[in-house]
Amino acid sequence: MNDAQLQALVRLPAPQSCRVIDFDKAEVVVLESFPPQYVLVVSGTKPYLNMKVDLVPLVYIQQPDYWGIEVVGCLPGIGLPATAPYAISLPLAGHIGTVGIEVIGASKHQQIQIPPGQAACQGSFSLSITSKATGELLARASLTCNPAGGSHPHPEAACKQLTEAAGHIEAIPEKQGICTKIFKPVILSASGTWDGEERKFQRGFANQCVAVLATGGLVFDFEDARPSSAELLFSRDDRPVDGELREVKITPEDGSTFTATLHTTYVDRINGHEIDQTEQLASGLTCSITDAQVTCSRDDRAADGKLHELVVSRNDEGTFDATLRTAFFDRIDGRGVDETTDIGAGLIKQ
């Protein structure tokens, strides 16, 4: 849209059934994802019971300092003369100014800086320690910064070191300490991004103790981090914006097989109670696990059973999507069934 088109839009008559209305509270919620997702949550009291309230971003030719977002109430017909509370939300992707946003109500405006306070660097790393002699994976962890998270046992402290080194592991000062002189060489590897720039690190050391101290004592200090054969958890919690919690958990059984479960929690506003349930998706699964994808399957069709195939794969945004494929022969209807169901999107690997 150019300047002439925008001016023509402004000159159009305003709708008689919609008005900018007041709000009581406006805040930005930061979802725990990478990169962070920002959601505007606005609440207040609407003047009519049947009024529909929306958050409507203004249109700009170029990005402003604060992106204006109007609180708009519309009536579908005759207004029911009774006030009622409202709470609405709007994902802010594509509607953030160079500084933040401005919530526009009938009698007040509120500017909100995004991200709140001073912007912090965002980072995401896959970290591993392998034996130089055998190539065996000794330990592995994931680490995200702003927000700090992943499977790393000390994400906040590790992110602080990375921030001071601008995401360059090789620039982190060595930590002083004492290690044994046992020669058991390891290779430390890291790959990821820091503020959108690629970061890679790989270096060999005489043993794991020397390696951890040489890289600052924190970033690769994850001996107790979950290896690939331990429990995996992928989750997304949208309850702060009136959504639901979804957790896909892959748990090792005795031996080399796994059980997959789906945990769902949300508020059922129709019936006025909270739903908190866990269902088993499949058991006895054989899994292939990498940083980018987990594939778990069990095929009992040869014994007149079912195929269960769970796939959790990294998407373009860096989060994970989960699907469950079920295939079997339906003897009642006399037909083959082969269907894939989405069981989670935008999940974060914990």
pLDDT tens digits for 93-144?
888 888 899 999 999 999 998 865 445 678 899 999 999 988 888 888 888 8
Ranges of the chain whose pLDDT falls below 50: 117-118, 224-229
Give me the sheet containing 84-91, strands edge to edge: 25-31, 37-46, 84-91
**DSSP 8-state secondary structure symbol assigned to residue 149:** B
Distance CA(326)–CA(334), nearest Å, equals 16
Q: Which amino acid belongs to residue 195?
A: D
Distance CA(264)–CA(113), nearest Å, equals 33
Contact 205, 212 (CB under 8 A): no
What is the per-residue pLDDT for 107? Answer: 93
**DSSP 8-state secondary structure symbol assigned to residue 196:** T
Sign of the alpha-carbon dihedral angle for 210, 216, 219, 222: positive
| Nearest-5° Cα angle at 166, 163 to 169 | 90
The pair of structure tokens assigned to 314 is: 């990294």
Tell me the pLDDT tens digit for each residue of 196-227: 889 999 999 998 888 999 999 999 987 644 33
N- to C-terminal Cα distance for the chain?
A: 42
What is the per-residue pLDDT for 326? Answer: 92
The pair of structure tokens assigned to 170 is: 């090789």
Give me the sheet containing 123-131, strands edge to edge: 137-145, 123-131, 186-194, 197-205
Distance CA(54)–CA(4), nearest Å, equals 27
Contact 110, 103 (CB under 8 A): yes
What is the per-residue pLDDT for 30? Answer: 80
Tell me how far CA of residue 326 lies from CA of 26, 259, 297, 334, 339, in angstroms.
Answer: 44, 15, 10, 16, 6
What is the per-residue pLDDT for 14? Answer: 62
Contact 88, 23 (CB under 8 A): no
124 membership: H or E segment, kind and range: strand 123-131
What is the per-residue pLDDT for 199? Answer: 92
Nearest residue to 27 via CA among 87, 72, 67? 87
| Nearest-5° Cα angle at 211, 206 to 217 | 155
